[in-house]
Amino acid sequence: MCMCARLSRRGRFFVTRACCAPERMAGEKSDDKWEGPCKNKKPDGKGVFTAASGDVYKGEMKDGQRSGAGTYTWSNGEQYVGDWKADQRVGEGVHTWPSGATYTGSFAANKRHGRGKIVWGDDHFYEGDWANGERSGTGTFQWPDGEKYVGGFKSGGRSGPGVNERPDGQRYVVSSLSVCPVCPLGCRGSGFRV
């Protein structure tokens, strides 16, 4: 434990981040607080970090960095629950936004990477492969009206081959080699009727 730690009313050690890490990271303020154990003057173990901005991290720390299971809640209501390593989101996790959008899946180097699903609202989602935070590989994108595209993605957009299915049952083969952005506003590109 840090030498300057004091026992809180709940029987836990309470220290300021400045006490645990005198070499504060860029952007940290002296009002940031860490409630939990320290090792070598750095947060280490399970605890709660409260930033002066209002952001809160509850979970495991190792050598002053988020590592292990934890929940980070931003002051705007955005939240990530999942795995951390060296202050970065890695492994499996769930990221939610105040708008109600939710991503459930894999992370690497703080970005969506691997398999995952993001849901923006009723029947509006993308499920499939991600690389470096962008849709990339194979997946399914469905618009709010029920139309969906199943096929290839590259750099965040559609990159055929693939199939568009309309709610009325019509199917179109998309064979474009160019990247067609798939945006929440509904860009749908063109194709050939099947």
The pLDDT tens digits for 83-140 are: 999 999 999 999 999 999 999 999 999 999 999 999 997 789 999 999 999 999 999 9
Coil, strand or helix at 18: helix
Structure pTM?
Answer: 0.77
Torsion (CA) 149, 154, 157, 161 in degrees, nearest 10: -30
41 vs 4: CA distance, rounded Å:
10
For residue 7, the Cα-to-chain-centroid distance in whole angstroms is: 34
Strands 157-165 and 180-181: antiparallel
Within the chain, all domains assigned CATH 2.20.110 are found at: 99-194
Average pLDDT in the chain: 82
Coil, strand or helix at 194: coil
Q: Is the pLDDT of residue 8 over 80?
A: no
- State the first-to-last Cα distance of the chain, in angstroms, to the nearest integer: 68
14: Cβ–Cβ under 8 A, 6 or more apart, which residues? Answer: 5, 6, 7, 8, 33, 35
Q: What's the CATH code, domain 99-194?
A: 2.20.110
134 vs 156: CA distance, rounded Å:
5
